[in-house]
Structure 1
């Protein structure tokens, strides 16, 4: 019988020790490892940070005769926004939407004409701006009092806005009574924040 050499015994012992250390470390690694973030923004209940994506989400102290709203994004953080996100104007006021970044943007009324649920006064004229990028503005006059919910191009990421015209009875407004079940989850959560601020401002 050939006896193993001292070198072979040391090699075998080292391999066994290494395997033992690896098996002891493996549970620690797997228990602390977290999945990598998704490379693109998807519709999830978590949605974007509402604080970052809803600047100006509080009701102004008084309605304005006209208002400019900027639309922008931070592609790196996947945050898209209207600023201010909550607007209050007088009947007959003109809203002007402009761009605050280089990403594509759009202002779209929630109306069946735009393949959206009705979340604005039924007798008001809906609008849909062209998709803009780099520069340009879009204006629309709002003459009918009520609550108008607005979708951005990145609605799936929660980019929405609410425009209030006059001082309507909130309980009668389609925007306030729609349950949001047809909306992407991030948009629905953004509207919950905006409408909560609107109700608080009208109390």
Structure 2
């Protein structure tokens, strides 16, 4: 039996499907083992460099893959951690990472298991403000590392998106 277009049951079903489409469009990363990409790039003259997005919200167990899309520069994705010669700006139980120098087209992947705020930087470009922040679901809002801000270049501190913006938007370019 065919259902007429004006049937209220059909409208409810279509409305529910639209809700599913809306939920799929929310700024959550891919599920499962798929890594979310963060691009590393800069201007053709090298006058500016960046991570895109520079703020990203993910779920525990999610992988992030940094990819160097910059044809003229090497970059790193390096955790703010004493093991990397920097103040701790990761959750206490989280392990630090350092991608090493990535040539154009190379990538590095890391899985984030501990909820919290993770700040990272590009080793050769920290003083140019090339920093990023990953917020793993379950992190508190606020400024968790304000006590270490004075130990970083001011341009790096200014480059971190607010935790609240990352939590609410899912990604901050």
Partner of residue 92 from structure 1, selected from 54, 61, 86: 61
Contact 1:63-1:166 at 8 Å conserved across structures: no
CA RMSD of the aligned region, Å? 2.2
Give the TM-score normalised by structure 2: 0.72
- State the Cα distance separating 1:185 from its structure 2 match: 1.3
SS in structure 1 at match of 2:150: coil
- Map residues 23-102 of structure 1 onto 2, 5 A cutoff: 61-65=27-31, 66-74=35-43, 76=45, 78-102=47-71
Q: Does 1:162 align with 2:133?
A: yes
Return 76-85 or 117-126, whichever deviates more.
76-85
- State the Cα distance separating 1:178 from its structure 2 match: 3.0
SS in structure 1 at match of 2:151: coil
Matched residues in 2 for 1:80 and 1:196: separation?
24
Contact 2:90-2:119 at 8 Å conserved across structures: yes
Q: Which residue of 2 aligns with 1:140?
A: 110
How many pairs does the alignment contain? Answer: 140
Give the TM-score normalised by structure 1: 0.62
Matched residues in 1 for 2:168 and 2:60: separation?
21
Q: Which has the larger radius of gyration?
A: 1
Q: 1:196 to 1:101 in 2, by over 3 A?
A: same
Partner of residue 104 from structure 1, selected from 49, 67, 74: 74
Structure 1 stretches lacking a partner, 5+ long: 1-59
Q: Which residue of 1 aligns with 2:166?
A: 198
Q: Which residue of 2 aligns with 1:152?
A: 122
Partner of residue 122 from structure 1, selected from 72, 87, 92: 92
Q: 1:159 to 1:180 in 2, by over 3 A?
A: same
Q: Which residue of 1 aligns with 2:150?
A: 181
Matched residues in 1 for 2:151 and 2:44: separation?
26
- Per-residue CA deviations over 1:54-102 (Å, capped at 9, x if unaligned) read xxxxxx7435433111111115261110011111111001111101112
Matched residues in 2 for 1:180 and 1:106: separation?
21
